[in-house]
Amino acid sequence: MELTPARVVRECEWVHDRADVVVPLVNDVRASLGEAFETDVASVTDEQYHEAVDDVFADGERGVNAAALVAILRDLDVEGDYPGFVVDELLGRELAAILAGGQPRRLLAEATFHFADVTTDAPGEAGRDDLDAALAAGFQTRLPGWAWTESESPFSVPRE
């Protein structure tokens, strides 16, 4: 695989165009997590998703890494799937983390990836369901809507 600036643009456009699949999955994941943690979580709109995709790919270092993982997962298919279980999980988890940003969101996206992956299925395409789950986990973690992300942390130490 060769990654060029033009290839990164193509992968960005592909992720952009995947909103019809990813946004509903983001909202399903948020609803399920909100229920599990007894909290209300705001839904994500297509516009918010598109803005987040633009933000990720505007950061050249983050964008090229995201593009590489998207491209690999789009083309990944392991005969019989099970032998490839580890590689598609590893790549999907890493993509979710890259999309989410730094810690602690990175770790939350990795955990959310496994949660999203359980409900995502693309028959005959080992990597595609992991790709959709990774996009949903990473962007749902990156985007606002969780109460804890909307306020100052009670653990912040004020500077004097």
Asked if residue 30 is part of any domain, the answer here is yes
Cβ neighbours of residue 84 closer than 8 Å, sequence gap 6 or more? 76, 77, 78, 126, 127
Tally of structural domains, the chain: 1
Asked if residue 152 is part of any domain, the answer here is no
Per cent of the chain over pLDDT 70 is: 91
Q: Which domain holds residue 61?
A: 5-145
144 with 42: CB under 8 angstroms? Answer: yes
Report which residue type is found at 24.
Answer: P
Asked if residue 84 is part of any domain, the answer here is yes
Asked if residue 153 is part of any domain, the answer here is no
Report which residue type is found at 96.
Answer: A
Asked if residue 154 is part of any domain, the answer here is no
Asked if residue 150 is part of any domain, the answer here is no
What's the rounded Cα separation, in Å, for the pair 78 and 59?
Answer: 31
Asked if residue 157 is part of any domain, the answer here is no
Q: What is the pLDDT of residues 32-69, one digit of tens each?
A: 999 999 999 999 999 999 999 999 999 999 999 999 99
Q: What is the pLDDT of residues 84-125, one digit of tens each?
A: 677 888 999 999 999 999 899 999 999 999 999 887 766 555
Asked if residue 50 is part of any domain, the answer here is yes
Cβ neighbours of residue 11 closer than 8 Å, sequence gap 6 or more? 66, 67, 70, 71
What's the rounded Cα separation, in Å, for the pair 73 and 136?
Answer: 14
What's the rounded Cα separation, in Å, for the pair 55 and 116?
Answer: 22
What's the rounded Cα separation, in Å, for the pair 97 and 141?
Answer: 9
Mean pLDDT for the chain overall? 89
Which of the pair, 123 or 25, is modelled with greater confidence? 25
